[in-house]
Chains A and B, each alone.
Chain A
Amino acid sequence: MRRPGVLQGGAVLALLALGFGLVPLFYGNQSLLFSMMAYVALAQGLNVAYGFTGYLPFGYVGFFGAGAYGTALAITFLHWPAVPAVLGGGVLALIFGVVLAPLLRLSGAYFAIANLAASQVLYYVVANPNLTSVTQGPYGIKLTSVFAPNLSYAVLWVILLLATGAAVYLRTSRLGLALRAINQDPVSAEMAGVNLVRGRMVAWLLSALVAGLVGGVYGWHVSVFYPQSVFTLRISIFAIVFVLFGGAGTVIGPVVGAVLLYGLYDVIGISTPEYFQLIYGALIVGLVLFLPEGLASLARRRGWDVL
C-alpha cells in the first residue's frame, strides 16, 4: 500500500488554488465563493483538531468570532491596515486557544460541551452593552473604511491554501503520525515516546489560528457585522457537518464536504430553508447510519488510499 503522499497534497492545493482563483473570472457571485472558501478553510481547521486528535470543538465558532473582533479592534483602535489586523485577529484566537488549553484534559462530550460553553461566554462578553465603548456591544462593528472585497477575497484564498497545506503536512509528516497515534490510543502513544501534551497543543492551536484568521478576514470582507453573526453556533455546526460528511482525518474530505454541502445550502437553503433543513436532517441521519466515516470511507472501501 502506498502512503498517501505529498503529490496528492499538491494536487489538492492546485485544484483549490485554480478553482477559487479562476472561477471569479466568469462567475459573478463573489459573496457565495467567499463564504464557500471560508467554510472550506474552517472545515479544514476544525479537521486539524477533530480529525487528527479526536477533540470535537463545538465551540469552534468562538475562535472565528475572536478573530473577527480582534481584527476589528486592531483596525479601529490601533489603526492597523487590514491585512496585519487579520493576523492580529488570528493571534487573538490563538490566545483564546491557549486560555482554553486546560479543556484538553477533558474528552468526548465533556470537552465538546465545555468548549461550547466557552464560546458562548466569549459571545456574551463581546455583546455586553457595558462594553460598547470597546466592542460596540450588540450594535455591531463597522469597518467600511477598509472595505476591499477583492483584496479580502485574495487574502482568504491565501489562508485557505495555508490551512490546507497545514493539513497536508499533518497527514504526511512525522508529527501527523504522532497525532494519529495519540488519537487512537493516548497511553500507547506516550509509551511509544510521543509527547502527548505537545502534540495535542500544536494541533489545537493550529486549529484555533485557522478559525481566527478566517474570522478576521470574514469581518473585513463583510465590513459590517454583529456579535450574533460571528458567534452563531451555526458556523460550528456547519463546519462539523462538512468535516464529517467528507471524512474526518483526511485532507480531501473536508474540502469535498464543504464544497458540496455549502453549495447545496446555497441552492436551497436561502430560498426554501424548510426544505433545506429537511434535506440536511436526512443527510445527517443517513451519514451516521451508513457512512459514519464520511465520503472518504467510500473510496477507502474500494482500496483507494485517501489523502
Chain B
Amino acid sequence: MSSEPLLTVEGVVKRFGGMRALDGVGFTLEPGEILGLVGPNGSGKTTLINVISGVYRPEAGSVHFRGRNVAGMPAHRLARLGINRTFQVPRPFKEMTVRDNVRVAAVFGGGDRLDPDAVLERTGLAALAAREAGTLNTSQQKQLDLARALATDPRLLLVDEIGAGLNPEELGAMADRLLKLQEEGIALLVVEHLLDFLNRITPRVIVLSAGRGIFEGSLSDAAQDPQVVEAFIGG
C-alpha cells in the first residue's frame, strides 16, 4: 500500500446565489488522522462537510477519497464507500426505535458488515435500543447520530459540532469516544467551536474564513496567527 492520503480536497468552490460559501478550499487527511476545522460563523465549515458528504455538489474543485474523485457523488454512494457524518442538529428517524435507526444504516450503508446491536453496545446506547428515537434527549440523539454513522463502517467520519449542548462530563466521554474511533482506524474531520474539546482530540486544525483556508497547524499556533485573530475578532 502506498501512503497516499485518505482524503484530498482541492480548490473546492460552492456558491449560494452570489455568495461564495467555499472559495477554493483544500487540505489533506491521512488515514486514522483527526483534523479539526474551526472558523467564525458563516466561514463555510458546515458547507464543506456538506460537500464532502455529498449533500451539496461543488461548482469547482475535487474531493478525492482513497484516490477517487467523489465530488458530486450522491450521499448514499459515499456512505457505501466509507464516508459518513453526524449533524450539527441531530437528525434521527424520530418514529423508529434506536435499534431500527442503526439497522437502516447497517443494512443499506454498511452492507450488513456490522451487527446493529454491537454498534449500539460500542456507542453506549444498548440500554436504549427499544426506545423511540424521538424520545431521546439531545445528548443521546447525538450519540445515535454517531452510532448510525458508525453502522455504515466508515473510514472517514465528518463530525459537525458534536460537542455543542453537551455538559462537561458528556464532553469528556465524547472526546474519549472520538479518540477510540481514531484508534480503530477511522479518520475524523471535526468541526467544533469548543476549542478545549478540540484540543483534547487533535493537535492539527485548519482555520476557515469566508470560505478560504487561512491557517493550518496546531491550535496554539493558530491563536498567535494575526490572520486568524483578525478573522475571529473582525477587522
Contact = CB atoms under 8 A, between A and B. Distances in A.
B104 A178 contact: yes
A196 B74 CA distance: 10
Interface in A1-55: 1
* Chain A interface, >50% SS class: helix
A192 B94 contact: no
Q: Which of A177, A189, A192, A195 has the most CB of B within 10 A?
A: A192
B105 A193 contact: yes
A248 to B, nearest CB: 12
Given A180-B96, A181-B93, A193 B103 contact: no
Given A1-B130, A184-B96, A187-B55, A192 B104 contact: yes
Interface in B60-104: 74-76, 79-80, 84-85, 87, 91-97, 100, 103-104
B232 interface: no
A187 B96 contact: no
Contacts of A228: none
Contact of B80 (A178, A181, A184, A193): A193
Contacts of A184: 93-96
Contact of B108 (A1, A180, A194): A194
B107 interface: yes
B85 A188 contact: no
A185 B151 CA distance: 17
A78 interface: no
Contacts of B107: 174, 177, 193
B111 to A, nearest CB: 8
B97 A196 contact: no
Contacts of B149: 191
A188 B93 contact: yes
Nearest to A249: B95
Q: Report, as a range, how many residues of chain A touch the other chain.
A: 10 to 19
Contact of A191 (B75, B94, B97): B75
A305 to B, nearest CB: 11
B127 to A, nearest CB: 15
Contacts of B92: 185, 188
A192 B97 contact: no
Interface residues of B, number: 31
Nearest to B93: A184
Interface in B109-137: 109-110, 130
A51 to B, nearest CB: 12
A188 B97 contact: no
A48 to B, nearest CB: 18
Contact of B76 (A1, A174, A195): A195
Contacts of A194: 76, 104, 108-109
Contacts of B182: none
A190 interface: yes
A190 B75 contact: yes
A120 B91 CA distance: 38
Given A178-B108, A180-B96, A184-B94, A191 B103 contact: no
A110 B92 CA distance: 25
Contact of A190 (B74, B87, B93): B74
Given A1-B130, A177-B104, A178-B104, A196 B94 contact: no
A196 B108 CA distance: 11
B100 A192 contact: no
A193 B78 CA distance: 8
Q: Which of B104, B105, B107 has the most CB of A within 10 A?
A: B104
B43 interface: no
B76 A190 contact: yes
Contacts of B46: none
Contacts of A174: 107-108
B54 interface: yes
A192 B74 contact: no
Given A184-B95, A193-B76, A193-B80, 14 more contacts: A180-B95, A180-B96, A184-B94, A185-B92, A187-B87, A188-B91, A189-B93, A189-B104, A190-B75, A190-B76, A191-B76, A192-B104, A192-B152, A194-B76
26 contacts: A174-B108, A178-B104, A180-B93, A180-B95, A181-B96, A184-B93, A184-B94, A184-B95, A185-B92, A187-B91, A188-B91, A188-B92, A188-B93, A189-B104, A190-B54, A190-B76, A191-B105, A191-B149, A192-B108, A193-B79, A193-B80, A193-B104, A193-B108, A193-B110, A195-B74, A196-B74
